[in-house]
Chains A and B, each alone.
Chain A
Amino acid sequence: MHEYSIAQNIMQIILTEAEKAKARKVVKVSLKIGGLTGVFPDSLSFCFDLCSKGTIAENADLIIEKVPIRGYCPHCNKVFLIEDNKYLCQNCGNLKIELITGRELQINHLEIEDETD
């Protein structure tokens, strides 16, 4: 259940950024979550609802964009999708690949209402 810690961290960032932007309300929070993180979106939404209760982000929509795992092979200079735990170059079979995406735990943007709304 590290989704709860992640939700708490999300809340901290949201509240700081919302204050900077003089927000009255946070309406939408969009996230990028990589396929290798083991974060379960439903649990994260559930924990976010708990953490945001009583704050300006209460009832905000949590939009989760799942990012697939992608690798890069330095031999072939190619980027490819990694599925079913196949952490190797799909072209030459090289095991020493670099992970390009899949570990994202990122807040992308917020939609807020401020005093002009």
Chain B
Amino acid sequence: MKQIEIKKDILSAHEMIAKENSELFKRKGTFVLNLMSSPGAGKTSLLERTIELLKNTFSLGVIEGDIATSYDAERINALGVKVVQINTGGACHLDSAMIKNALAEFNTDRLDTLIIENVGNLVCPAEFNLGEDAKVVIFSVTEGDDKPFKYPLMFRLSKALIINKVDLLPYIDCNIKRVIKDANSLNPDLRIFEISCTKRKGLNSWKKWLEEEINKKRNTSLPDE
């Protein structure tokens, strides 16, 4: 019997590909969002609103992750934006290799922003870096105000939190102050946006933040060798 030292990160192969993706995005000046939430929180609705806000100013691309179906990709396609559907066939999250493969279908020379919609799940997607600039967690008020503390990693790693469906607040028992307080205690730098995608409310500050981030990334892109 012999003991051998390994001391290796289990996801190191994924991390390496995530780094490659991230370096490509840096060279091209492409700002990349990774949208994550539980199923039904409004990722695709946010994506639709975001495309409406940005598509006249920036060139956009979308990667749709779902276990099965291309329903979401069809919704995005209808808005005239290039979309690639990934069906994970059971896996509960996207990983960096899936993104790398999907990138082959985009003209990355002409892409200001790539928005990745992850599989609906508040646990697993947080663990898998894709090479993105910002993880965004979408929480809808119908899910209950205890979610940040139940899924701390997701809230800890995200750059922005979208609180969606705020138009429903009068009808349900959700203490939004608690959500904000708990989320901020997990992550003091978290940017928080209170939005209703269906009523198109609260979208201006989200748009402003995105424009700043996209321009920042574009201005720091590295010239091709």
How near does chain A come to B175, taking the closest CB pair, in angstroms?
A: 16
Q: Which single residue of chain A is at the shortest CB-CB distance from B95?
A: A5
Q: Which of the four size classes fits the interface of chain A?
A: 35 or more
Contacts of B78 in A (CB 8 A): none
- Give the distance to chain B from A117, nearest Cβ to Cβ, in Å: 6
Which one of B7-15, B19-27, B47-55, B166-174 is at the A interface? B7-15
SS class of chain A's interface: helix, strand, loop or mixed?
mixed
Main secondary structure of the interface of B (DSSP, over half): mixed
- Chain B nearest CB, measured from A20 CB (Å): 8
Contacts of A99 in B (CB 8 A): 156
Question: Which of B6, B8, B10, B182 is within 8 Å of A6, CB to CB?
Answer: B10
Q: How large is the interface on B (under 10, 10 to 19, 20 to 34, 35 or more residues)?
A: 35 or more
Known contacts A37-B153, A85-B152, A110-B4: A9-B10 contact under CB 8 Å = yes
- Residues in chain B near residue A107, CB distance under 8 A: 6-8, 10
- Nearest CB of A to B114, in Å: 23
Binds B, one of A10-18, A52-60, A72-80: A10-18
Q: Is A27 an interface residue (CB 8 A)?
A: yes
| B149 CB within 8 Å of chain A | yes
Residues in chain A near residue B92, CB distance under 8 A:
1-2
- Cβ of A36: which chain B residues have Cβ within 8 Å of it? 152-153, 156
B10/A109 in contact, CB under 8 A: no
Within 8 A of A (CB), among B14-43: 14
Least CB separation from A44: chain B residue = B10
What separation, in Å, do the CA atoms of A110 and B2 have in the docked complex? 8
- Residue interface mask B204-218, A partner, CB < 8 A = 1: 000000000000000
B186: Cβ under 8 A from any A Cβ: yes
Q: Is the CB of B186 within 8 A of A87?
A: yes
Closest-CB distance, A39 to chain B (whole angstroms): 8
The answer, among A10, A103, A106, A111, for a CB contact under 8 Å with B3, is: A111
Interface membership of chain B positions 160-202, coded 1 if the CB is closer than 8 angstroms to chain A and 0 otherwise = 0000000000000000000000101111110000000000000
Q: List the B residue with the shortest CB-CB distance to A31.
A: B10
* Chain A neighbourhood of B14, CB < 8 A: 9
Contacting pair A111 B7 (CB below 8 A): no
Contact with B along A76-117 (1 / 0, CB 8 A): 000000000111100000011001000101111111111011
Enumerate chain A residues within 8 angstroms of B149, measured Cβ to Cβ. Answer: 85
Contact of A108 among B7, B127, B152, B189 (CB under 8 A): B7
Cross-chain contact A2 with B93 (CB below 8 angstroms): yes
A83 to chain B, nearest CB (A): 12
**5 closest Cβ pairs, A-B complex:** A2-B124, A95-B188, A105-B10, A107-B6, A85-B149
Selected A-B contacts with CB under 8 Å, 19 pairs: A2-B92, A5-B93, A12-B13, A13-B10, A17-B4, A21-B4, A36-B152, A38-B126, A85-B152, A87-B152, A88-B185, A95-B188, A107-B8, A108-B5, A108-B7, A109-B3, A109-B4, A111-B3, A112-B3
Other than A2-B123, A6-B10, A106-B8, give 5 A-B pairs with Cβ distance below 8 A. Answer: A1-B92, A1-B124, A9-B10, A36-B153, A117-B2
Interface residues of A (CB under 8 A from B): 1-2, 4-6, 9-10, 12-13, 17, 21, 27, 31, 36-38, 85-88, 95-96, 99, 103, 105-114, 116-117
